[in-house]
Each structure stands twice: as C-alpha cells, then as structure tokens.
Amino acid sequence: MYNISDEVKHVLVNKEELDRITTDLAARISEDYKDKNLVLLGILKGSVPFMSDIMRKITLPAELEFMKVSSYGSGTVSSGELKIHLDVLRTGLENCDILVIEDIIDSGRTLKKVVAHLLEKGARSVKTCTLLDKPSRREVDFTPDYVGREIPDYFVVGYGLDFDEKYRTLPYIGIPNFVFENK
Ligand code: IMP
Ligand code: MG
C-alpha cells in the first residue's frame, strides 16, 4: 500500500527528538512566562503540529491566536513585503505577552515583520519560538528567542513543513527523496 513516508526516507528529526524538543521548550516557556499573560500565536499552516504539541506541555494558562502570512522575499520581490492573509482576530493586545510559534526560520523576513506588526498593534511584549532555525540562510538581522533545533541548509518537510502543500502531516521531519534524486 502507498505510504507517504516512503517519499521522505531521510529522517532528520524523529518523533522521539520532537518529543524531547517540545518538552524542553515548554518547560522553559512555563518558567519564563509565569508572571505574564501568555498568548501563543501560531503562524498558519506550518506551526500547527508543533503548536499543538507544545501547548499541551505548557503548564500555564495560555490563550491561542493565529495569523496567516506570506513573505515575498528573495526570488519574487526583493523588498520582502509581508502579506497578511489572516490577521490576529482580537483587539486590545495591551495586556498580552505574545509568543509567536513558527515552524522554521530561513531568511528571517517573515518573523521579523510579524513581530513589528504585533508591536505596532500594541502588544505588551512579543517573543518568538521556532521549531527549526537555519541561521546560515539569514538575510535580515533577526534572532528568535526559543529555538528547538538549528539545522544546516537542507530543504525539509514534515511535522507541519510542506513542499507545495504536501508532507505536512508526516509525524517527523525529513529530507524528501527528490532532493537527492535531483543532485
Ligand atoms: P523566512 O521568511 O525566509 O524566514 O521564511 C520562513 C518560511 O519559509 C517558513 O514559514 C516556511 O514556510 C518556509 N520554509 C523555509 N525553509 C523551509 C524548508 O526547508 N521547508 C519548508 N518550508 C520552508
Ligand atoms: Mg510555509
């Protein structure tokens, strides 16, 4: 029977490591935000599995919000304009300590602009938590506050990450077979 995981044979971060990463991050966040009003803000769609796992390990009360954005950075428009498809659906962010949850940081353009946007909307504080970081790819000055794991410049899929909307549902992160076949 066809199995989608046959298309992603090289596993980079397995289930057990994902479990360890979300446990560690959730413990740090629970400690750091104990006197704050934590709002977890997921960037759709890639953050969904990561956010779902981490939220259930955070021991503080936390509100949930989402944004859907796309960044036209390198390749299309060099200005790196941020397009907001779904903005945060609440007003009165003055007493919110927002922690943006993202799947991966590449150039850094998306999260840098999301943070600026939320501060402009009046959020009391805005920090960022990414599952994966590719620091070697950075094009703008941006440092995430919480990082699950740094990875080299590989194209990865699974656990929220997609190629052409595919592979997001895999329970691990891997390098799709086609990356090796095209070499
Ligand atoms: P940035 O604005 O360049 O930091 O782009 C971050 C976005 O690019 C992420 O939210 C992902 O949607 C996408 N992205 C970057 N690297 C990868 C990858 O290796 N696999 C899948 N998506 C990626
Ligand atoms: Mg994406």
The amino acid present at 169, given as its one-letter code, is: T
pLDDT tens string 25-39? 999 999 999 999 999
Q: How far is the CA of 106 from the centre of ligand 1 (A)?
A: 5
Where does ligand 1 bind, in terms of residues with CB under 6 Å?
Answer: 46, 71, 73, 102-110, 155-157, 161-162
What pLDDT score was predicted for residue 78?
Answer: 46
User: Best of 161, 162, 168, 175 to mutate for ligand 1, by most ligand atoms within 8 A of CB?
Assistant: 161
What pLDDT score was predicted for residue 80?
Answer: 67
SS3 173: strand
Q: Calculate ∠ Cα 182-167-56, nearest 5°.
A: 140
Which residue's CA is minimally distant from atom 20 of ligand 1? 156
Instruction: Determine phi and psi for 182, rounding to 5 degrees.
Output: -85, 5
What pLDDT score was predicted for residue 87?
Answer: 95
Residues 6+ apart with CB under 8 A from 147: 129, 130, 132, 133
Query: pTM for this structure?
Result: 0.95
pLDDT in tens, the chain (183 residues): 999 999 999 999 999 999 999 999 999 999 999 999 999 999 999 999 999 999 999 999 999 999 999 876 544 444 567 899 999 988 899 999 999 999 999 999 999 999 999 999 999 999 999 999 999 999 999 999 999 999 999 999 999 999 999 999 999 999 999 999 876
Terminal CA-CA length for the chain: 28
Which residue's CA is minimally distant from atom 11 of ligand 1? 104
Cα separation of 21 and 25, whole Å? 6
* Sheet containing 81-86: order of strands: 81-86, 63-72, 38-44, 97-105, 125-133, 146-150
